[in-house]
Structure 1
Amino acid sequence: NTLGHLGREIHRRYDEFGPLLVFDDGNKRFLSFGTADEQSCQLKKDPLILQHDYARCMFGVLTRYDDITAIRNITLLGTGGGTLATVLHERLSEAQIAAVDVRAAVFQVARQYFGLPRSPRLQTFTMDASHYLATVTAAQCDLLITDLYQAEGLDPLVLQPDFLKMCAAHLQQDGWLVLNLWKEHREQTDCLQHLKALFPTIAMNTTSDGNWIIWASRAQQNAADRTGRDEAKRRCKQLNELLEFNLWQQVKGFYRGS
């Protein structure tokens, strides 16, 4: 079993997309879709401290907001163990969150094994991400996070121009899109061209574990990118207390040359 390094298997189920497995090593809990890649990882004694570099990098987009309490509507495409959804729900107490996943079993496992909250502020939608975007009101979202992975890797939907267009339409003018890709996708320049055509402001960074994280905004560069390096550092200091990890370590790559 290639997954033994994740600890003891405590749950397994199958749906039409394949297996979902939960492992526990005593300290952490992991979700896997049956491959060696972890979909989610949660520290049991403090589930609100994000464990993966890429998740911390995605959260770093909070440094782009003058006031994080102004983030009222969040859409999360791809839920996994629900660790991002849970932390967003607990740390941004004013926000309404829509968590979308094509697998109903993902939500069941996230609730049962990873403590995904049942809350009027956190709605779950079992549907394909593009179908969800097609059904919701345009320009209503302050923060849109896509974390769409299948067992064999990134959902190819994420690189489609039509999907990126729908993401842009879903966001408010000063909202931010966060994409979690793999570093291999940096070579696919057409994806970046499509993004640049839709989002005048783009920042990107590659994490130590090989993810390529992009933050993109429809606001013009000068409006969206007022946050220079010093201001970003200051905001990180404030957010460190909330998030309980060193945010600047994760986000300084996004502020190169600013």
Structure 2
Amino acid sequence: MTNLNRFELLLHESGGKPFVFDHDDMRTLHFDHQYIQSAMSISAPDKLLLSYTRAMMGFLLFQAAPKHILMVGLGGGSLVKYCYRNFPAARITVLELHAEVIALRDQFMIPADDQRLQVIHADAAAYMQAQQENSADIVMLDGFSADGPASELSTSDFYKACLHCLAPQGVLVSNLWDRPTPAVPAIAQALLGTDWRIWWCRTEDSHNYIAFFVKGNDAGVFRPVVLNRAQKLDQRFDLRLSELVPSFQLVKHFSEEA
């Protein structure tokens, strides 16, 4: 049976639920036939294979020692596993709407819940509204449906709630996928009257837009300072942040299309 035939069979048997597909050393998560939701090397399960996941780790350029990382969207757990292995002092909370995705965590070798890691079956929009101020150092938004970014996670109220829960030196990282325009009005409304800045970049192969919400950061000195940080971080982590920094751009006007 060919790989295509095996995939079509798994797709049919899934009955519309998330499913796992293995090809050589690659294990991928799918919601349908269109997109790969997550990818893992079976022989190196903690490695970040997709460039957009490495780009999201760019929060380290702004906050290198997080104590609490809050993630929205479990998927195949690439970011969860990487943070769990590389930041032993950090507590990690993951919100996932779909129980069917959580049920696949063992196949993606996601560690079991413990004192440092908690995967919660929850509606992130409702959960974030209930969070207290200063409750997270990093918020990572990577919640998707089969068709793209979940609409309930693209509202002004949701972004406000995410920013509200961040500590003073906290960072919000959002995967805006390849169509950031629909989220622009909500983001603009959420940031009215605040001192948040947004730096965004595009990954080299997946074309995802990744946005980093940070406070301060003088645009005039940003690039050389952050490039120096990236070079030091690249000595510790396999993230290739030095390659990413030149693509960073400051969002000055929300009427601009990213």
Which category describes the TM-score, using the shorter chain as reference length?
Answer: 0.7 to 0.9
User: Which residue of the partner structure matches residue 255 of structure 2?
Assistant: none
Residue 88 of structure 1: how far off its partner (Å): 0.8
Contact 2:125/2:153 (<8 A) preserved: no
Query: Could you say if the C-alpha distance between residues 250 and 51 of structure 1 is closer, same or farther in structure 2, counting changes exceeding 3 Å?
Result: farther
Correspondent of 1:211 among 205, 208, 211:
208
Find the aligned partners of 1:236 and 1:103 in 2 and give their Cα distance. Answer: 35
Residue 168 of structure 1: how far off its partner (Å): 1.1
User: Which residue of the partner structure matches residue 254 of structure 2?
Assistant: none
Residue 7 of structure 1: how far off its partner (Å): 6.7
Unaligned runs of 5+ in 2: 251-258
RMSD: 2.8
Find the aligned partners of 1:91 and 1:211 in 2 and give their Cα distance. Answer: 24
Contact 1:28/1:41 (<8 A) preserved: yes
Worse-superposed segment, 245-254 or 84-93: 245-254
Find the aligned partners of 1:232 and 1:5 in 2 and give their Cα distance. Answer: 47
- For the residue of structure 2 that corresponds to 1:24, the secondary structure is strand
Same amino acid, percent of matched pairs: 24
Find the aligned partners of 2:58 and 2:242 in 1 and give their Cα distance. Answer: 8
User: Which residue of the partner structure matches residue 47 of structure 1?
Assistant: 45
User: Which residue of the partner structure matches residue 252 of structure 1?
Assistant: 246
Moved over 6 A (4+): 5-13
Query: Which TM-score applies when normalising by structure 2?
Result: 0.84
Residue 128 of structure 1: how far off its partner (Å): 0.5
Q: Which amino acid in structure 2 is aligned with residue 158 of structure 1?
A: L
Find the aligned partners of 1:147 and 1:185 in 2 and give their Cα distance. Answer: 13
Find the aligned partners of 2:36 and 2:85 in 1 and give their Cα distance. Answer: 23
Correspondent of 1:23 among 21, 27, 39:
21
Find the aligned partners of 2:74 and 2:90 in 1 and give their Cα distance. Answer: 17
Residue 6 of structure 1: how far off its partner (Å): 9.6
Query: Which TM-score applies when normalising by structure 1?
Result: 0.84
Residue 46 of structure 1: how far off its partner (Å): 1.8
User: Which residue of the partner structure matches residue 57 of structure 1?
Assistant: 55
- The alignment covers a number of residue pairs equal to 246
Larger helix percent: 1
Query: Could you say if the C-alpha distance between residues 245 and 172 of structure 1 is closer, same or farther in structure 2, counting changes exceeding 3 Å?
Result: closer
